[in-house]
């Protein structure tokens, strides 16, 4: 895979040139105000670092008075040095207020950097209560027992409508005894021409009255 060709970013080049010029102007202004040697090189670094720290504070935590205040102070120091070295001031004989400002800048920059690094918002973030735990799919959840269903109403039949006859409750009858009783009933009907009554069936089978009534109901 071919590597992409090197492309020059115009914005980056412009930023480097502007930064170098601002750095040189701050150095020249500090040197003219009596800060020679390594101290003259430290001034532009201090101004640029304070400017970057305030900008990062604005980008990370949003607009705040503290960050805007120190951002404007560092920007004013940088722009002031650029304008002052353009011939508006006689750097061979710098005024007293310029010497005073350059001499007091380290303490001012230290205060601004400390406040930006260690200050916090006065309002604490609102605590969000934790969400209630949701049971897993495999966890059994106790449920209240369902109420018993209401009994269904008995069907109401119209007057005169034939309804199926329900056999009276009684003792269970063996199937062989019912077949024998059916044969006796058929024989009685063949001889007399009338259906067998319960008393005759009880006498022929020799069973108790309740059992005879149950058998008679099954033969009906």
pLDDT tens for 79-118 read: 888 888 877 777 788 888 888 888 888 888 888 888 888 8
Least confident of 8-22, 38-52, 71-85, 149-163: 149-163
Identify the pLDDT of residue 163: 46
Least confident of 38-42, 57-61, 191-195, 216-220: 216-220
Place of tokens 């269903």: 149
CB 218 within 8 A of CB 201: no
- pTM > 0.75: yes or no: no
Least confident of 14-23, 128-137, 169-178: 128-137
CA angle 130, 134, 140 (to 5 degrees): 150
DSSP 87: I
Q: How far is CA 17 from the centre of its chain?
A: 49
pLDDT tens for 112-154 read: 888 888 875 544 444 555 665 555 555 555 556 666 665 665 5
CB 92 within 8 A of CB 152: no
CA distance 193 to 185: 11
What SS3 state is found at 147? coil
Helices 175-192, 198-205: crossing angle, 10 deg rounding: 120
């Amino acid at each position: 895979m071919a590597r992409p060709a090197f492309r020059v970013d115009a914005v980056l080049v412009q930023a480097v040139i502007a930064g170098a010029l601002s750095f040189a102007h701050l150095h020249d202004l500090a040197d003219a105000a009596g800060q020679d040697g390594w101290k003259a090189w430290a001034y532009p670094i201090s101004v640029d670092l304070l400017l970057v720290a305030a900008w990062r504070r604005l980008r990370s935590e949003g607009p705040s008075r503290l960050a805007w205040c120190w951002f404007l102070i560092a920007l004013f120091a940088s722009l002031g040095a650029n304008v002052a070295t353009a011939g508006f001031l006689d750097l061979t004989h710098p005024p007293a207020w310029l010497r005073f400002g350059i001499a007091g800048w380290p303490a001012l920059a230290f205060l601004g950097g400390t406040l930006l690094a260690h200050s916090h918002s006065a309002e604490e973030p609102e605590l969000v209560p934790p969400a209630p735990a949701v049971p897993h799919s495999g966890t059994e959840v106790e449920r209240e027992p369902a109420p018993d269903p209401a009994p269904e109403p008995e069907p109401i039949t119209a007057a005169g409508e034939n309804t199926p006859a329900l056999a009276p409750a009684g003792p269970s009858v063996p199937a062989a005894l019912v077949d024998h009783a059916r044969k006796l009933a058929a024989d009685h009907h063949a001889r007399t021409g009338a259906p067998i009554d319960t008393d005759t069936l009880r006498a022929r089978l020799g069973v108790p009255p309740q059992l005879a009534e149950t058998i008679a109901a099954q033969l009906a």
